[in-house]
Amino acid sequence: MTNPCKIYEDGVEYTLGVLTGNKVIYDFPKIMIYLEAKGKLLFGDHFRIYKKDQRIIRELCNYFIKDKESCEKLGIDPGKGLLISGPVGCGKTSLMKLMKYIVPHQRPYSVVASRCIVFSFNHLGYKTIEDFGDSQFFCFDDIGVEPIGRHYGRDCNVMGEILLSRYELFLETKIKTHATTNLNAEELEKRFGIRVRSRMRQLFNLIAFDKQCVDKRK
Ligand SMILES: Nc1ncnc2c1ncn2[C@@H]1O[C@H](COP(=O)(O)OP(=O)(O)OP(=O)(O)O)[C@@H](O)[C@H]1O
Ligand SMILES: [Mg+2]
């Protein structure tokens, strides 16, 4: 196996920690340096790691590198997925697109916009719900504010249905699902109903940005 804590980007080597035996001891300051560099490559030169976001990024790092002790302290279950909540523009989508790069040895997830899934449903109907309920690894972006689906005159709460399927999949196979949202627990329940909300608690660890977090959109 190649060393998972050595990553090359544009000919530059980044070292995220040291490999001892088959265990990596990660070094947070080094992970932050890599995340800032990779963020600039992915999103542009304006990208930086804000001091105020370091707490949440550290939590995400502990989750992705599966640091059992730290996860336990933080109340994070590495066996569940992540639900990142926070105000508009705080950087949820960018972070979920970025974090997978610190663990290149793990199976990557695709970040898919919930509203695009609804548009697909409007064309293809229930096939879309089947497609996203299968064993691929997804991060559903911006759940809860997508429009209601409509196929041949029938309304459907598409993401609600998909979350129910993902829950069944999780019980059967332990395959995780991630998501981001602007909504709080109460609003999610209003949007998806109590059955979905209850299952979401089992499917996700909740990682919340501060309500005061600034909009990073210029
Ligand atoms: N760490 C960062 N440094 C600089 N710019 C950032 C950072 N994070 C996000 N941005 C920029 O801020 C904007 C919003 O980011 P992003 O889409 O990730 O936020 P979001 O929380 O997903 O927003 P929404 O709730 O609207 O979906 C983007 O233009 C992105 O490039
Ligand atoms: Mg977003």
CATH number of the domain bearing residue 136: 3.40.50.300
For 92-107, the pLDDT digits (tens) are: 999 999 999 999 999 9
For 126-149, the pLDDT digits (tens) are: 999 999 998 899 999 999 999 999
Among 60, 93, 99, 207, say which to mutate for ligand 1: greatest number of ligand atoms within 8 Å of CB: 93
Overall average pLDDT of the 188-198 stretch: 97
Cross-strand partners of 32? none
| Closest protein CA for atom 5 of ligand 1 | 47
Would you say residue 70 lies in a domain?
Answer: no
Q: Between 4 and 67, name the one with better pLDDT.
A: 67
Give the model's pLDDT for residue 187.
Answer: 96
Q: How many domains does the chain have?
A: 1
Q: Which ligand has the minimum distance to the alpha carbon of residue 208?
A: 1
Q: Which ligand has the minimum distance to the alpha carbon of residue 85?
A: 1
Domain that residue 171 falls in? 76-208
The two three-digit tokens of residue 163, written as one number: 């979350």
Would you say residue 176 lies in a domain?
Answer: yes
> Which helix H or strand E contains 35, and what residues bound it?
helix 28-43
The per-residue pLDDT of the chain, averaged, comes to 95
Q: What angle do CA 99, 202, 173 make, to 5 degrees?
A: 75
**Confidence band of 111 (pLDDT split at 50, 70, 90):** very high
Lowest mean pLDDT among 93-97, 114-118, 133-137, 164-168: 133-137
Would you say residue 66 lies in a domain?
Answer: no
pTM comes to: 0.96
- Ligand 2: centre distance to CA 189 (Å): 20
Would you say residue 25 lies in a domain?
Answer: no
Would you say residue 147 lies in a domain?
Answer: yes
Counting every residue written for the chain, the total comes to 218
Give the model's pLDDT for residue 3.
Answer: 84
For 59-93, the pLDDT digits (tens) are: 999 999 999 999 999 999 999 999 999 999 999 99
**CA dist., res. 65 & res. 19, Å (int):** 13
**Confidence band of 204 (pLDDT split at 50, 70, 90):** very high
Give the model's pLDDT for residue 9.
Answer: 95
Contact between 200 and 83 (Cβ < 8 Å): yes
- Ligand 1: centre distance to CA 94 (Å): 6
